[in-house]
Structure 1
Amino acid sequence: MIELVIDQRRKDLGGFEVGRVLPHHAHRMVGPFAFFDHMGPVEFRAGFGRNVDVRPHPHIGLSTVTYLFDGEITHRDSVGSTEVIRPGEVNWMTAGRGITHSERFEDLRAHGGTMHGIQAWVALPTEQEETDPAFAHHGQADLPTYEGGGMWARLIAGKAFGAEAKVKVHSPMFYVHWALDAGATAELPAEYPERAAYVAQGIVEIDGQQVQQGQMAVFTPGQTVPVTALTNAIVMLLGGEPLGPRFIEWNFVASSKDRIEQAKADWRAGRMKLPDADDQEFIPLPPDPPGPANALS
């Protein structure tokens, strides 16, 4: 039932650490999910430095999905969007042929508080990699919820458990937030060929194996997966139909290595528009990593 357990790897983003789960060398993607970062929880004091902010930077070939448990982030992008995301809401940004955006912690800087959430990247199908860039914000009313048997659930995106979120997705997928009381058992159906569960808080038991905070269990297809909370737990469910191999380098995802090289050249040459409301600085292209880029699959 459990094919693999992935431990998060701590990454310093310059002002705070995140736990990076995907991509992983043993399992690069889960359905269309090519990237999965657990942000925090981290407690900020009012007045912290601007180095924590994520300055304007580019993406191609993917959708970024931001979901918070605590805190606020101000998003600005090159299609003219400015949006503050709060807990239980979704920012879904489709990069397509190219978009730039920033993420600022302005409310936390003013007042202090906790930052805790998940940032994921969802690869686009090959035929939609060059689609027009777009941004959508969805409040809690757009995201179906369910409660019963010691389990509370919110469908963040896609279709699952007989429900569908109002978030526009580009391929068959699901993304769910579970909150489980200690002792509760909930089941993940065998609806999609690729599925995983990430424990953001607490400890759960799956198929007789403990999965702890900061670990992602990737499942074999074809079986219903019972998940029992050994403590109060927050579990993120994700997966969907596979899209085929993808290359990933820096902030770019594509089915073609040549397309990534083009995006790198465009950013280096200043050919990608910065956000109108945040165009005074940007993150430069980092040096090329050693060795060839590996395809995700």
Structure 2
Amino acid sequence: MSTETQTPEETFNQHCVTPAGCKTIELLIEPRDTDLGGLSVRRVLPTRQRRMVGPWVFFDHMGPADFPAGEGINVRPHPHINLATVTYLFEGEILHRDSIGSYQPIRPGDVNLMVAGKGITHSERERPEVTESAHRLNGLQLWLALPEAFEEIEPAFYHYPDTDIPRVDVDGVPIRVIMGSAYGATSPVKVFADTLYVEAYLLAGQQIKVPVAQERAVYIAEGELVTAETRIPEHAMAVFSNVPDIVLTATRDSRIAIVGGESLGDRYMEWNFVSSRRERIEQAKIDWTTHAFPKVAGDEDEFIPLPE
């Protein structure tokens, strides 16, 4: 998704606290719902208190949203540099188009990885076959910072269907390893640094142990968890401290995403641009306003202007 302002956290309001007496949770982020044209979005990362978790610089929960016939997601072409977007849906469908010629509907369980590298333009809309009927959308979109050695690579697009993403069962908890390695499984999704992204669905009373990574966090898309006697409410992210053997317990049926990986150092962020170099972002802003970015194949007529 394209952000609405120059700095991605400005449009959104998050409440961040450090739970008193809890050595397991470093920060608890509770985002507020923001309506973007009929779509409820919660922006978890970045916040002023926490810019990144591992290589992850951006975390949006889209929906759940119910659209009447004739309406739906309609994000005009916009640019990215020096990052990769990862889209994963629980419900619904989004049509991805980009400036390297990709045309790909993403459906529940699929993983879309778009590598912006030195620069890419894309749009996110819905096919007429979807919008002609009432429908629902619910999913996550995350951005990965690319390591400095990969920031200016050629843009690329990778689509992994639902059947390619590993499934494991740990003590009765169904788990999908979306990126990286965890619970004895390794995802085929391309990574550029040590990256962790896991989805799980826990019934009330079930537990899950958080995989090992340099930095880790859990987001509650649905339900509620506790760890070390600290409650993690629905639609909140708990960023963990560096303690071993973190166990999460569901107090009600819960869908969660565990993310993390290696720290890549600081990144500058403005609008849809992420880079290790401030001057690179300034150049990208000039390139977008002067129409130097390539156009989206099949979606050339519209674009989102650079926010003032």
TM-score by length of 1: 0.93
Q: In the alignment, what sits opposite 2:270?
A: 249
Q: In the alignment, what sits opposite 1:274?
A: 295
Aligned residue pairs, count: 284
Q: CA deviation at 1:103?
A: 0.4
What SS class does the counterpart of residue 111 from structure 1 fall into? coil
In the alignment, structure 2 segments of 5+ residues that lack a partner are: 1-23
Q: 1:259 aligns with which of 280, 297, 300?
A: 280
Deviating above 6 A after TM superposition, structure 1's stretches of 4 or more consecutive aligned residues are: none
Q: 1:160 aligns with which of 151, 164, 182?
A: 182
The answer as to whether partners of 2:201 and 2:255 remain within 8 angstroms in 1 is yes
Q: In the alignment, what sits opposite 2:97?
A: 76
In the alignment, structure 1 segments of 5+ residues that lack a partner are: 288-297
What SS class does the counterpart of residue 87 from structure 1 fall into? coil
Q: 2:46 aligns with which of 10, 19, 23?
A: 23
Matched, 1:122 2:144: yes
- Inter-partner Cα distance in structure 1 for 2:296 and 2:252: 43
CA, structure 1 residues 267+131, in 2 after alignment: closer, same or farther (shift >3 Å)? same
- Inter-partner Cα distance in structure 1 for 2:230 and 2:145: 30
TM-score by length of 2: 0.90
Q: CA deviation at 1:46?
A: 1.0
- Inter-partner Cα distance in structure 1 for 2:172 and 2:30: 27
The answer as to whether partners of 1:150 and 1:181 remain within 8 angstroms in 2 is no
* Aligned partner letter, 1:135: F
Q: CA deviation at 1:138?
A: 0.2
The answer as to whether partners of 2:220 and 2:237 remain within 8 angstroms in 1 is yes
* Aligned partner letter, 2:52: M
RMSD across aligned positions (CA): 1.1
Matched, 1:39 2:73: no
What SS class does the counterpart of residue 279 from structure 2 fall into? helix
The answer as to whether partners of 1:44 and 1:108 remain within 8 angstroms in 2 is no
Same amino acid, percent of matched pairs: 49
What SS class does the counterpart of residue 231 from structure 1 fall into? strand
Q: In the alignment, what sits opposite 1:295?
A: none
What SS class does the counterpart of residue 276 from structure 1 fall into? coil
User: What does the per-residue CA deviation read over 1:207-265, in whole Å, with 9 as the maximum and x for residues that have no partner?
Assistant: 11111111000001141210101100001000000000000100000001110000000
- Inter-partner Cα distance in structure 2 for 1:279 and 1:159: 38
